[in-house]
Structure 1
């Protein structure tokens, strides 16, 4: 039985492995280009000039900062739900807000976490993929030596090696519990980001629409709720058009928003109480806790709302680059948001009774309506960014076998990372409408929002520490400083938000448990099916017997047999031959393989090899990153045919070459036939009742409700032949 995380290689594969380990380059004829018109990842990753950086910095204002930028709409009411009892508390809270933004948003995310990217892509899966590439912790055993020659698979590691890094790597690789824990933690992070995708539209739109009561005090909370629901439904209906032009379309609106909140904040600071500048002294935080004790700790759950959207700085990195986000964060985002909070606190020092609606109450009357309109637009934009992030992270999860198969629509010809997932869009819309109708106000939604945000913060920090120790090999003193400062602050935030569990905080945890259960069930069934095929793959002698059997009729055409295995022939192949008793004269075993990286360069996407010498039986391994798009099947067929002929030309002798090329041309004239196994997975006799429940019912129930492999791979139905088989796992 193969070890977990490794396939048992054939002698030929062992030779390839040894070749890799001794530093010898693998045969370039095994690599071929599927999409020759696309540039390589190396070209994409070239250092951008300052003109490009400024352009991206402008675009990311419209995509990344909506959530962080609109948080002044609801933060202070969340901190003071029962009103302000002591004016000095305003200084303590303002100091907390200032240093939370500086420490978490600026220092942690802008200057540390962005560096832990996966070849320019960020998010929970980016961190997980870095760890999987450096240590064998991936539970899907499909590693190949050739994969490590993919340029985007390699890591630029420090030359030095440390005992701590080696010890941690060994611990991760040798413990099955740790491997499951890493996968489970990644799933929680994904589910919490999806929770943000639900709660952000609710709280942002409700807060923005609530400002209309300044002009129409008679308007009820129910009316505001229904107006918000209509906006939310419209918001999700336009998702199908994609986010290709979001940057250029929405950036001017958010630039105007940031200019407005900065100007109003500065105006209020000068007009009401410039003395709030004393809040830059962190001693006011200490005094705030001394004065309020437990209430101060509980209020941190409201302070965390000023950091919502910080994770988007990392998750949306793939659309931009590090320097553009750092530039726009330091020049636009942080100064504007801090001025907004300083101005609100300055206003509240003279008008403590207005804390429940601090944002709109503090707007000068001549600017009220312009600011209200811009606030509505900014709230919609804030919602858009988290919804788009949800689509991306679901695409990543599905590509790596951690989420049921779904339809992924690429909405941009220029930016492959911009996707739309119809099923997820519908579920998010229903969830948003349900949360809005159920809670009606931003206070309860804020309690739920805080838990989702802090869980993502803590998970990111956990993975970041692993990256620091194992990959960056950071000095242990710096790691300890990070854990004892940023780490402890985030744990404190999490403890405060969990205190509000019964007051709406249970919503993201309930949602997370549902999503994680679906992901874990799917991943478990997916792995069991893969391991069955791996352990029961066909021996070369069996394949030789099948090919040489005169009772097997050889038909014209080119057959593409799809399999999950990257080495060996799956057991369903013998099942197919025994029932159909025919083989195509040219047969290619196709393995669609997802690597734990964001993108595979076009020229490195495919591996091509011969399964049996002297026979027209080949293996084609198609490697995708989790953000790569898949082209239409006609293009796939043309490119596959061309590369097959190129491979034969390089792999065969002069006489054999001409004969085999002629056979391939004849097969191509007769057309492609797609052969696919439809495998039902059942728990083997003697399995526990938990395994039977998970595999026989839950996993198979999920399979019936998701898209089938032929739909995902864009296979023409008229050219498809399926053969069924049951795997007892």
Structure 2
């Protein structure tokens, strides 16, 4: 478990009868979920055909003309990458590793850690690395997706070239500006637009397969062997570009809680997978029929009346893909806050019916700034492609390792089966990762810089929170001792209830000690309140609150929230009425301790890390707002702590 403290962090704790001849009924709910999954889950991987095949051919040919064997080899690699990584790994296995219906790197980490009595730190490290790498994906996806789509205007006429970057920035600015309104109002069009996108790229591919039907031979994996054996050095670099075809696969798992496994699987097998294959095969046939000239096959094979509509549709699809990954970053950040990987951040709910529809102003602003910097700095999607693969491959490798733990400890699979399956996935993940890591100087440094920055922030927050907890605990009085003394010798009592928030339910809250010191009084009823984050997405109401009576003056209340839930203390305490506590918000005062932190040479961290932790702590949103406590019922008592 993870326990929230009153400073802004959380700390580790432990109908009628059937008619025989009736026509089969259509499951409209499932169709709606499947259509929604198209728009949210598959927006990222669905826009990969715009640039993936082109980048792979450029890498394999070293120029603008590719040999027939290279085209067949590259296409075969893409076909089997989509089959093994997405269809087998994610669809068949990873989607089954749900944590109470929720998915994503941190959900998988929480699931894996929960299988151990002592929750090993190395599993936490894997989750931390996976989350850090995801943020790299979250900023590169909008940049490369929108930029590559707008570059389609260059195929219409080269005179558009000077306007590609400015137009990309305008579109991205609009995307980030509308985040505050939430995706609920526009989500209804995401699915239909994305469905039209997949059907269009599938039809575009089918039309051009007849250009050179020999391209269908690429389904034979033998062409992969030929390609890898004939020029290993070139093939090694090409594999890094091949991976662009499967970027977005993590979204299948990350958005599991929004749609459920069945709609995601149905959308992939019925629409996404076939249309992607058809388009990639069509691009291959188009390039073969044009003498191997690479160019920009995705847009070039739509020249004529279909070109401008395809550019417009591609731009809309990339905007949707960007929206999906930005929303994913909000969800991941909320999980990280609840699991004490990041400080408290302001969370705004944009939907009255969907708890997952959230907006985080600070995260949105930072994502937007970094995306703008990437577009301005790299200028072309080809340059950004080198930066893309590292973060995604690294994230997928973390998923593979965590999945192995779930297979072994929770699913109770035989060790031999776990090792065999994990080895196959890990070899592929590592191969893709290594082939991308060599592109560090070509742009891969951007992914590493983003991931390193996030890992540094997460590790600093976790380390600083631990030192702060240990230091404040030394100066605190055991709660049992204090309550016994106050029961024997009662101070002046005043009417009402006082609730003292604390991260350590065994120690007397700092706010309580200071209240006694300065006011010399005690309320008739005093509650020591701890907020706990469970290692599951949501907690049922019957498990929300636990009451323990200490004596006539004090009782201890533990409130539990899932890591996907937004804490609401008044609502949680209202549940306590069923357990006998006559809770009335209008006669209750909430006492919080506001700590002023100062750097100390004896903290155990370098001075620069002390200062970083203090800056992070200052950036945390107010505890009153975060826990949704009425501001008129809050008393804050300040203390100064040197860490």
Post-superposition offset of 1:470: 1.4
TM-score (norm 1): 0.81
Q: Does 1:297 align with 2:236?
A: yes
Q: Give the SS at the match of 1:134.
A: coil
**Which residue is equivalent to 1:370?**
309
Residue 53 (structure 1) aligned with residue 34 (structure 2): no
Structure 2 counterpart of 1:694: 609
Q: Does 1:184 find its partner at 2:125?
A: yes
Between the aligned partners of 1:572 and 1:77, the Cα distance in structure 2 is 62
1:151-170 equivalent positions in 2, closer than 5 A: none
Q: Aligned pair 1:673/2:614, yes or no?
A: no
Residue 227 of structure 1, aligned match among 167, 173, 181: 167
Structure 2 unaligned regions, length at least 5 = 4-13, 15-25
- Aligned counterpart in structure 2 of residue 251 of structure 1, from 191, 196, 210: 191
Q: Deviations over 1:86-120 (max 9, x none)?
A: 12110000000000000001100011000111111
SS of structure 2 residue aligned to 1:707: coil
Structure 2 vs 1, CA of residues 363 and 63 (structure 1 numbering), >3 Å: closer, same or farther? same
Q: In structure 2, what is the Cα distance between the partners aligned to 1:680 and 1:324?
A: 49
Judge conservation of contact 1:264–1:343 (CA < 8 Å) in 2. yes
Please state if 1:64 is matched with 2:73: no
Q: Does 1:578 align with 2:492?
A: no
Note the C-alpha offset of 1:261. Answer: 0.5
Using the TM superposition, give the Cα deviation of residue 293 of structure 1 relative to its aligned residue in structure 2, in angstroms. Answer: 1.5
Deviation at 1:577, TM superposition (A): 1.5
Q: Residue 314 of structure 1: SS of its match in structure 2?
A: helix
Q: Is the 8 A contact 1:538 1:568 kept in 2?
A: yes
Deviation, 1:602, is 2.4
Is the 2:510–2:593 contact (alpha carbons within 8 Å) kept by the matching residues of 1? no
In structure 1, what is the Cα distance between the partners aligned to 2:355 and 2:171? 28
Q: Does the CA contact (< 8 Å) of 1:242 and 1:420 recur in 2?
A: yes
1:449 aligns with 2:388: yes
Report the counterpart of residue 265 of structure 1 in structure 2: 205
Distance 1:294 1:70 in 2: 28
Q: Distance in 1 between matches of 2:233 and 2:27?
A: 49
Superposition deviation, residue 725 in structure 1? 2.9
CA gap 1:687/1:360 in 2 versus in 1, 3 angstroms:
closer
Residue of 310, 329, 347 corresponding to 2:268: 329
Look up the match of 2:22: none
Note closer, same or farther for the CA distance 1:622–1:189 as it changes in structure 2 (3 Å cut).
Answer: same
Aligned residue for 1:103?
Answer: 84
Match of residue 241 from structure 1: 181
Is 1:62–1:246's contact at 8 Å kept on the other side of the alignment? no
Q: Is it true that 1:340 corresponds to 2:256 in the alignment?
A: no
- Whether the 8 Å CA contact 1:534–1:570 is kept in 2: the answer is no
Name the CA distance, whole Å, in 1 between partners of 2:600 and 2:389: 44
Contact 1:319–1:415 (CA under 8 A) maintained in structure 2: no
Show the counterpart of 1:703: 617
Q: Residues 247 and 534 from structure 1, CA distance in 2 versus in 1: closer, same or farther, beyond 3 angstroms?
A: same
Partner of 1:462: 401
* CA drift at 1:589: 1.7
Assess, with a 3 A threshold, how the Cα gap between structure 1 residues 687 and 121 changes in structure 2: closer, same or farther.
closer
Q: For residues 489 and 53 of structure 2, what CA distance do their matches in structure 1 show?
A: 78
Answering whether residue 89 of structure 2 is matched by residue 112 of structure 1, we say: no
Q: Please give the residue correspondences for 1:191-590 in structure 2 after superposition, counting only pairs within 5 Å.
A: 191-220=132-161, 222-270=162-210, 272-352=211-291, 354-532=293-471, 536-550=476-490, 552-590=491-529
Q: In structure 2, what is the equivalent of residue 723 of structure 1?
A: 637
Structure 1 segments, 4+ long, off by >6 Å, are none
Q: Deviations over 1:107-146 (max 9, x none)?
A: 00011000111111101111111122221444xxxxxxxx
State the alpha-carbon separation in 1 of the partners of residues 415 and 317 from structure 2.
42
Kindly tell me: are residues 378 and 473 of structure 1, through their superposed partners in 2, closer, same or farther at Cα, counting changes over 3 Å?
same
Match in the other structure for 2:50: 73
Q: How far apart are residue 707 of structure 1 and its match?
A: 1.4
| Equivalent residue, structure 2, for 1:45 | none
**Contact map agreement 1:682 1:692 (CA 8 A) in 2:** no
Deviation at 1:246, TM superposition (A): 4.7
TM-score (norm 2): 0.91
Name the structure 2 match of 1:619.
Answer: 556
Partner SS for 1:584: strand
Task: Say which SS state the counterpart of residue 415 (structure 1) adopts.
Answer: coil
Q: What secondary structure, in the 3-state scheme, does the structure 2 residue paired with 1:112 have?
A: helix
SS at match of 1:328: helix
Aligned counterparts of 1:373 and 1:585: Cα–Cα separation in 2: 67
How big is the shift at 1:567?
Answer: 4.2
Residue matched to 2:566: 629
Does the residue aligned with 1:598 lie in a helix, a strand or coil? coil
Match of 1:133 in 2: 114
8 Å CA contact retained: 2:45, 2:247: yes
Question: What CA distance in whole angstroms lies between the structure 2 residues aligned with 1:571 and 1:518?
Answer: 27
Among 594, 597, 607, the alignment partner of 2:536 is 597
Distance in 2, Cα, partners of 1:79 & 1:727:
55
* 1:450 to 1:89, Cα distance in 2 relative to 1, 3 A: same
Q: Deviations over 1:453-491 (max 9, x none)?
A: 100110100111111111112122322321332210111
Aligned to 1:559, the other structure's residue is in SS state strand
User: Per the alignment, in what secondary structure is the counterpart of residue 356 of structure 2?
Assistant: coil
Aligned length, in residue pairs = 617
CA distance in 2, matches of 1:416, 1:496: 39
CA distance 1:352–1:694, shift in 2 (3 Å): same
2:105 corresponds in structure 1 to: 124
* Maintained 8 Å contact 2:594/2:637: yes
Residues 692 and 502 (structure 1 numbering): CA distance in 2 closer, same or farther, change over 3 Å? Answer: closer
Cα offset, 1:316, TM superposition? 0.5
Q: How many angstroms apart in 2 are the aligned matches of 1:321 and 1:629?
A: 21
Q: In the TM superposition, what whole-angstrom CA distance separates every residue of 1:635-671 from its partner, at most 9, and x where no partner exists?
A: x26x73x54454337xxxxxxxxxxx6xx77xx66x2
How much does 1:728 deviate?
A: 5.9
Q: Quick one: distance in 1 between partners of 2:395 and 2:601?
A: 40
In structure 1, distance between residues paired with 2:183 and 2:177: 13
For the residues of structure 1 that align with 2:75 and 2:127, how far apart are their CA atoms?
A: 33
